């Protein structure tokens, strides 16, 4: 499945990390795995119905929380192995990346599997348990103190990555926001969905770097050109043309304009507020056992509405990027939710609608069927720059 990675696994044993290349271990029995990358992928899909969607209707959720770290394990392994094959990352070279957590877990895993030290630059919003988890997997966690005056925390983190790269000769930054390998990494996920579900009419994805929505849509559209793709963002995010505001939800949303977002692939975008995502994630936890974080709550809210309102028989697939464990101190903590005004607030049964992203600033669940790239000229210019070697 991970073609580039498999090529690496054929390297001499001396070139591999400590988890790999154990000659005394016999061939694994079916379903067993000798190496960390073997744990990633082939995640299950689950039918989500009552109480979010009554009347026998529902949608299929791809449970990416079944990966060791989450959906970004796929991206991390692909980014690192592609960089090694391309020669951008030498054996043993340091990986330095800006992350709000999930890619960090994947990079920690890729670092262990392939023998690279990992430094993760994040901000004070990172959950303490996640900070500990990243550290216990061997990553160095570097926390920026203040947001950038214009580009927010994300820009501050990216600038810190630049400083650290200058300090570590031979280090490499995956650049998940702009590196096209972060899109290509999701081809296997798309093929899994196609195998598991057959025809898919509607795909619902959260958008942060834009990687998984673009990568899955690209492959599924080749199989089904009329696939409808719905993007899910948080209020306060700039990605789809709203003004930058402080954001509580992590994972989805951005304060910059990631070039991996494929604006042309979306037929509409929804912005979701934190309380709406919390209510939906908690409802999923009580009714389906399978739940997750902010993006799971937001995606499930939108997918449930689609399942209630689209013609019967349309097959809807939604990607749940992670599981609930990281959010025990936020979404699933009554005190936290009470303090942030998030507790027991059922969302409306349908979103507000605006006709253009610039019509007004949205503060609650809102949809827009006109999807625009807020910085089309800048993106073309920057994409050319990325090709010429970042």
Ligand X SMILES: Cc1ncc(COP(=O)(O)O)c(C=O)c1O
How many residues in the shown chain lie near ligand X by CB under 6 A? 18
- The residue within the footprint of ligand X, chosen from 106, 151, 152, 208 (CB under 6 A), is 208
Residue 295 makes contact with ligand X by CB under 6 A: yes
- The residue within the footprint of ligand X, chosen from 321, 347, 351, 357 (CB under 6 A), is 321
For ligand X, the closer CB: 74 or 116:
74
- The residue within the footprint of ligand X, chosen from 43, 102, 171, 280 (CB under 6 A), is 102
- Report the SS3 class of residue 233: strand
Nearest-approach distance from CB 239 to ligand X, in angstroms: 9
Cβ distance 89 to 117 under 8 Å? no
Residue among 252, 266, 259 nearest 375 (CA): 259
Residue 275 makes contact with ligand X by CB under 6 A: no
- The residue within the footprint of ligand X, chosen from 73, 97, 192, 322 (CB under 6 A), is 322
Stretch that binds ligand X, among 41-49, 53-61, 95-103, 132-140 (CB under 6 A): 95-103
The sign of the torsion formed by the CA atoms of 39, 295, 47, 324 equals positive
What whole-number distance in Å separates Cα of residue 148 and Cα of residue 228?
A: 36
Residue 175 makes contact with ligand X by CB under 6 A: no
For ligand X, the closer CB: 58 or 293:
293
Please spell the DSSP secondary structure of 282-333, one letter per residue.
HHHHHHHS---SHHHHHHHHHHHHHHHHSPTT--EEEEE---SGGGTTTTT-
Q: Which residue is nearest to ligand X (CB)?
A: 251
For ligand X, the closer CB: 60 or 186:
186
Nearest-approach distance from CB 322 to ligand X, in angstroms: 4
Residue among 43, 42, 23 nearest 34 (CA): 23
Residue 209 makes contact with ligand X by CB under 6 A: yes
Residue 211 makes contact with ligand X by CB under 6 A: yes
In angstroms, the first-to-last Cα distance of the chain is: 28
Binding mask 220-259 for ligand X (x = CB under 6 A): -------------------------------xx-------
Residue 185 backbone class (left: φ over 0; alpha: ψ -120 to 50; beta: rest): alpha
What whole-number distance in Å separates Cα of residue 225 and Cα of residue 208?
A: 24
Give contact residues for ligand X (rule: CB under 6 A): 72, 100, 102-103, 206-213, 251-252, 293, 295, 321-322
């Amino acid at each position: 499945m991970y073609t580039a990675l498999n090529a690496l696994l054929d390297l001499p044993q001396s070139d591999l990390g400590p988890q790999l290349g154990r000659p005394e271990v016999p061939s694994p029995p079916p379903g067993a795995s000798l190496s960390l990358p073997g744990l990633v992928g082939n995640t299950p899909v689950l039918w989500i119905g009552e109480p979010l969607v009554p009347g026998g209707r529902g949608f299929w959720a791809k449970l990416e929380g079944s990966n060791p770290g989450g959906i970004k394990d796929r991206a991390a392994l692909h980014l690192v192995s592609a960089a090694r094959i391309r020669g951008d990352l030498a054996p043993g070279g340091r990986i330095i990346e800006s992350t709000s957590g999930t890619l960090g877990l994947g990079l920690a895993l890729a670092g262990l599997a392939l023998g690279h030290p990992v430094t993760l630059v994040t901000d004070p919003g990172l959950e303490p348990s996640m900070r500990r988890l990243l550290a216990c997997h061997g990553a160095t966690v570097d926390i920026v103190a203040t947001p950038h005056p214009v580009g927010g925390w994300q820009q501050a983190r990216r600038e810190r990555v630049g400083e650290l790269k200058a300090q570590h000769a031979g280090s490499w930054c995956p650049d998940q926001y702009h590196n096209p390998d972060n899109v290509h990494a999701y081809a296997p996920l798309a093929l899994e969905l196609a195998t598991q579900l057959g025809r898919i009419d509607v795909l619902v994805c959260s958008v942060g770097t834009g990687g998984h929505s673009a990568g899955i849509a690209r492959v599924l559209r080749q199989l089904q050109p009329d696939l409808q793709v719905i993007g899910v963002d948080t209020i306060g995010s700039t990605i789809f043309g709203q003004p930058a505001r402080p954001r509580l939800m992590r994972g989805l949303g951005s304060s910059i304009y990631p070039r991996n977002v494929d604006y042309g692939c979306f037929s509409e975008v929804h912005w979701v507020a934190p309380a709406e995502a919390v209510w939906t994630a908690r409802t999923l936890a009580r009714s389906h056992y399978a739940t997750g974080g902010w993006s799971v709550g937001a995606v499930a809210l939108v997918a449930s509405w689609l399942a209630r309102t689209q013609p019967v028989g349309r097959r809807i697939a939604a990607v749940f990027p992670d599981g609930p464990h990281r959010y025990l101190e936020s979404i699933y903590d009554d005190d936290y939710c009470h303090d942030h005004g998030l507790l027991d607030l059922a969302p409306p049964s349908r979103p507000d609608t605006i006709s253009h992203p610039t019509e007004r600033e949205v503060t609650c669940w809102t949809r827009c069927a006109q999807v625009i790239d807020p910085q089309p000229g800048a993106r073309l210019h920057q994409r050319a720059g990325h090709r010429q070697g970042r």
